[in-house]
Structure 1
Amino acid sequence: MLPSLYYLVPVLGGYAVTSYYLLKNPHILHRRKRLPFHCRHISHRGGAGERIENTIEAFENAVANHTDLLELDCHLTKDGQVVVSHDGNLLRQTGHNVNICDIKYEELPHYREALEVTFFPGHMSTGRDHRMPLLEEVFQKFPEKPINIEIKRDCDELIKKVSDLVKKYHRAERTIWASTSDPVMKKCRPENPDMPFMFTPRRGIILLALYYTGLLPFVPLPESVVETYMPSIINRTYFPNNRLMRNRFLVRLQDKLMMRKGLFQHLQARGIQVYLWVLNQESDIQRAFDCGATGVMTDFPSKLHHFLQQYEGEQRALEPQEPAAEQESQHGY
């Protein structure tokens, strides 16, 4: 037993030291990803707390509040139109118990006068616009704005039509494939390989396993974006349908495992952006950025905009200032 330890301890020690060094210096093994956008302000469903979700009015409000990324969801109508809507069944959104895939676009009912904010129960959103837009309308209205598109159904036609629209409007580099389904993501990637894509939940679990075993610095990662919930919002503003996820012990465990600044810093050093959702309270937004998240996804674009103005001002104030004499020398005084 003891002789084997003489070999095992140095090997494990060398592995741990090498893993830690590469975790801090990932550029040694990996080329940094170069996304053409850097997102701190992300509007969930266009900002579902301030306007009716996924409407043109919501997207306009988000852009007016300096959002870096619009997050939206897509479905396919009976007549083959790619429509922007979170739910496939329209009962919650419109009061009509119909599926988008079963009716033509022109037959889609309008949104209710007011909708409860999914990630802020008890809060309602209203607006003048109650129409579900086509994805093509959004591309036409916001040609330069990065957009995160979640594919809500495993539908080959939907995936192909979204890809075709992205190609038509020459926006592959600034449009993100998003899905919580591995089979869907496996179809999205070859359909348009030029589009960046997110980690699915299964891939996120693998990411955590790689991090805690020390293997992460050695493994290539094809994804460009991590999009995940911040566990501490569960049972406060986020109530998962799976009761197991709401178990308080598991919530605390997830929080300990997932909210690791070292992990976020490593990913960002490799050019992988980390977005935490859906944060609607200032204390949660503050924590997300303090933990090293690249960006925050919110239902309240104006609230996040005002927070970032203050937060970034405070960060600049904390930066070391050059000595006055050196500043004068640089300016030729």
Structure 2
Amino acid sequence: MSSFLYFVLPAVGGYALTSMILLKNPHILHKRKRSAFFSRHISHRGGSGERIESTMEAFTNAVEQGTEMLELDCHLTKDGHVVVSHDDNLLRQTGYDVTISSLDLKDLPLYKERLEVTFYEGHYSSGADRKIALLEDVFKKFPRMPISVEIKENNKQLITKVSDMAKRYNREEITVWASVESSIMKECLKVNDSMPHSFTMNRGVLLLLLFYTGLLPFVPLEESLLQFYLLRIMNRTFIPDSPILRNRLIASLLEKLMMRKSLFTHLADRGIQVHLFVCNEDEDIKAAFELGATGVMTDYPCHLTSYLCRNRSQE
């Protein structure tokens, strides 16, 4: 037994030391990713706290306020148009219990006059523009603005249309594939692997496993962005649908497990941007940057711009 420990303990110790050194110095094994953009200021659904979410008015306001990236979701209408909307079912957004996929573009209802901000309970937005936007119109109006496009359904026609639009408007390098589902991301990359992409949920779990086992510094990563919740907002400004996440103890444990500065710093050193969302208050914006986020996603682009101007030391 003693002879076994004589060999094993030095090996384990050597592995742990090597892993720690490489975690802090990833350039030893990995070439830093080069990106066509770097975004510290990201507008969630176009800045859904200042204008009605995902409308052209919201996107325009966010860009005017100095955002460096737009985040949006898209779906396909019955007659084949790619539109910008977080939900396929429009009950929450419009009051009509219908799906985008069941309607032609001309039949899509207008957004409600006042819409609650999903990640800021009790706060509402309004605006003159209540029309569901076309993704192509967003690409046309903001040709050089980086945009994260979340694909929520494994629909090859939708994915192909988004890819074709990114090519047509010469914006593949600044259009990001985003999806929670690995099966959807696999199809996105199959259609177009020239576009940068973010971590899916499964890949995020794997990332944590690699981090805690010490293997992360040795493993190549294809993703260009990690976009994830700032978990401290759970049950405070955002009440999750999941009963498990509503448990404050579980939410606290997840925060301690997942919000690791050494992990985020390692990713940033490898050229992988880390965007934490949705940060709508000063204390949350500050916490995100202190954790090592390279960018913050917000519903209030004007407020985030003000914060960054007031706290230039974090730039």
Aligned partner of 1:180 in structure 2 is 180
Deviations 1:33-68 (A, max 9, x none): 111111110000000000000011000110011101
- Partner Cα separation in structure 2 for residue 280 and residue 258 of structure 1: 20
1:279 aligned to 2:250? no
- Partner Cα separation in structure 1 for residue 314 and residue 298 of structure 2: 21
3-state SS of the aligned residue for 1:122?
coil
- Alpha carbons of structure 1 residues 245 and 75: separation in structure 2 relative to 1, 3 Å: same
Aligned partner of 2:80 in structure 1 is 80
After superposing the two structures, state which structure 1 stretch, 134-143 or 23-32, moved more.
Answer: 23-32
- Partner Cα separation in structure 2 for residue 250 and residue 270 of structure 1: 30
When the two chains are superposed, the root-mean-square deviation of aligned CA atoms in Å is: 0.9
Aligned partner of 1:44 in structure 2 is 44
Counterpart mapping for 1:136-215 below 5 A? 136-215=136-215
> Does the Cα contact within 8 Å between 2:308 and 2:314 map onto a contact in 1?
no
Aligned partner of 1:109 in structure 2 is 109
- Alpha carbons of structure 1 residues 37 and 150: separation in structure 2 relative to 1, 3 Å: same
- Partner Cα separation in structure 2 for residue 76 and residue 295 of structure 1: 29
Return the offset for 1:242: 1.3
> Does the Cα contact within 8 Å between 2:163 and 2:191 map onto a contact in 1?
yes
- Partner Cα separation in structure 2 for residue 48 and residue 113 of structure 1: 13
- Alpha carbons of structure 1 residues 169 and 315: separation in structure 2 relative to 1, 3 Å: closer
3-state SS of the aligned residue for 2:264?
helix
Return the offset for 1:147: 0.2
> Does the Cα contact within 8 Å between 2:289 and 2:314 map onto a contact in 1?
no
- Partner Cα separation in structure 2 for residue 135 and residue 24 of structure 1: 40
Aligned partner of 1:226 in structure 2 is 226
Aligned partner of 2:128 in structure 1 is 128
- Partner Cα separation in structure 2 for residue 223 and residue 65 of structure 1: 28
Letter in 2 for 1:94: T
Aligned partner of 1:246 in structure 2 is 246
- Partner Cα separation in structure 2 for residue 114 and residue 230 of structure 1: 26
- Partner Cα separation in structure 1 for residue 71 and residue 159 of structure 2: 17
Letter in 2 for 1:152: K
- Partner Cα separation in structure 2 for residue 48 and residue 184 of structure 1: 25
Deviations 1:71-112 (A, max 9, x none): 011000000000011110111111111110011001111111
Deviations 1:195-216 (A, max 9, x none): 0101011111110111111000
- Partner Cα separation in structure 2 for residue 170 and residue 279 of structure 1: 31
- Partner Cα separation in structure 2 for residue 26 and residue 4 of structure 1: 32
- Partner Cα separation in structure 2 for residue 36 and residue 161 of structure 1: 22
In structure 1, stretches of 5+ residues that fail to align are 317-333
3-state SS of the aligned residue for 1:97?
coil
> Does the Cα contact within 8 Å between 2:115 and 2:126 map onto a contact in 1?
yes
Return the offset for 1:257: 1.4
- Partner Cα separation in structure 2 for residue 247 and residue 185 of structure 1: 30
Aligned partner of 2:301 in structure 1 is 301
Aligned partner of 1:331 in structure 2 is none
3-state SS of the aligned residue for 1:111?
coil
Query: Structure 1 residue runs of 4+, over 3 Å off?
Result: none
3-state SS of the aligned residue for 2:15?
helix
3-state SS of the aligned residue for 1:296?
strand
Aligned partner of 1:18 in structure 2 is 18
Counterpart mapping for 1:84-99 below 5 A? 84-99=84-99
Aligned partner of 1:329 in structure 2 is none
- Alpha carbons of structure 1 residues 262 and 63: separation in structure 2 relative to 1, 3 Å: same
- Partner Cα separation in structure 1 for residue 249 and residue 52 of structure 2: 35
- Partner Cα separation in structure 2 for residue 213 and residue 72 of structure 1: 34
Q: Percent identity?
A: 57
- Partner Cα separation in structure 2 for residue 237 and residue 158 of structure 1: 33
Letter in 2 for 1:62: A
Query: So what's the TM-score if we normalise by structure 1?
Result: 0.93
Deviations 1:284-305 (A, max 9, x none): 1100001110111110000000
